[in-house]
A and B are shown apart, each in its own frame.
Chain A
Amino acid sequence: MSQTFIPSTETVFEKTGENTMIVNMGPQHPSTHGVLRVICELEGETIVRCKCVIGYLHTGMEKEAEYQTYHKCVVMTDRMDYLNANGNNLAHALAVEKLIGCEVPKRGQYLRVILAELSRIASHCVWLGTGALDLGAMTPFFYIMQQREMILDMFEMFSGVRMMPSWIVPGGLRGDIPPGLETKLRKFLVEFPKELKVIEDLLVDNPIWKERTQDVGILSGAEALALGCSGPIARASGVPFDLRKAKPYSSYEDFDFEIPVGSVGDVYDRFLVRIAEMKESCRILEQAINGLPEGPYNTLDRKIAPPPRQELDNSMESVIHHFKLYTEGFRAPAGEAYAGIEGSKGELGFYVIGDGSNRPYRWHERPSSFMNLKSLEVLSVGRMIADVIAIIGSIDIVLGEIDR
Chain B
Amino acid sequence: MFGEYLPILMMMGVAAVICTVMVLGSYILGPKRVTKYKSSPYECGVAPLGDAFERVPIKFYLVAILFVLFDIEVVFLWSWLTVFKDSPLDFKIFTGVALLIYMILWIIGDAYVIKVGAIEWDESTSLAPEKLIDSKPITVNTPAVPQTIEAQ
Contact = CB atoms under 8 A, between A and B. Distances in A.
Tell whether A and B belong to one assembly. Answer: yes
Nearest to A234: B145
B69 interface: no
Given A16-B133, A46-B123, A46-B127, A246 B149 contact: yes
Interface of A is mostly: loop
B145 A239 contact: yes
Interface in A218-244: 220-223, 225-227, 238-242
Contacts of A7: 46-47
Interface of B is mostly: loop
B123 A37 contact: no
B49 interface: yes
A1 B127 contact: no
Contacts of A239: 145-146
A21 B59 CA distance: 15
Contact of A44 (B46, B57, B137, B141): B57
Contacts, number: 112
A19 B48 contact: no
Interface stretch (B37-45, B75-83, B91-99, B102-110): B37-45
B137 A378 contact: yes
B131 A48 contact: yes
Nearest to A51: B134
B47 A381 contact: no
Interface string A255-267: 0000100000000
B87 interface: no
A227 B138 contact: yes
A6 interface: yes
Contacts of B139: 226
Interface size classification for chain B: 35 or more
A247 B152 CA distance: 6
Interface size classification for chain A: 35 or more
A4 interface: yes
A22 interface: yes
Contacts of A46: 123, 126-127
B135 interface: yes
B34 to A, nearest CB: 16
B86 interface: no
B152 to A, nearest CB: 5
A28 interface: yes
A178 interface: no
A148 B48 CA distance: 38
A17 interface: yes
A139 interface: no
B40 A1 contact: yes
B14 to A, nearest CB: 35
Contacts of A382: 123, 127, 132, 135
A226 B138 contact: yes
A24 B43 contact: yes
A241 B146 contact: yes
27 contacts: A1-B40, A4-B37, A4-B47, A6-B45, A8-B47, A9-B48, A10-B49, A13-B49, A17-B131, A21-B54, A22-B50, A24-B43, A24-B44, A27-B45, A29-B44, A44-B126, A45-B121, A46-B126, A48-B127, A222-B142, A222-B145, A223-B138, A239-B145, A245-B149, A248-B152, A378-B138, A384-B121
Given A19-B57, A37-B44, A226-B142, 17 more contacts: A1-B48, A6-B45, A27-B44, A28-B44, A29-B44, A44-B57, A44-B59, A44-B126, A45-B121, A221-B145, A225-B142, A226-B138, A377-B137, A382-B127, A382-B132, A384-B121, A384-B123
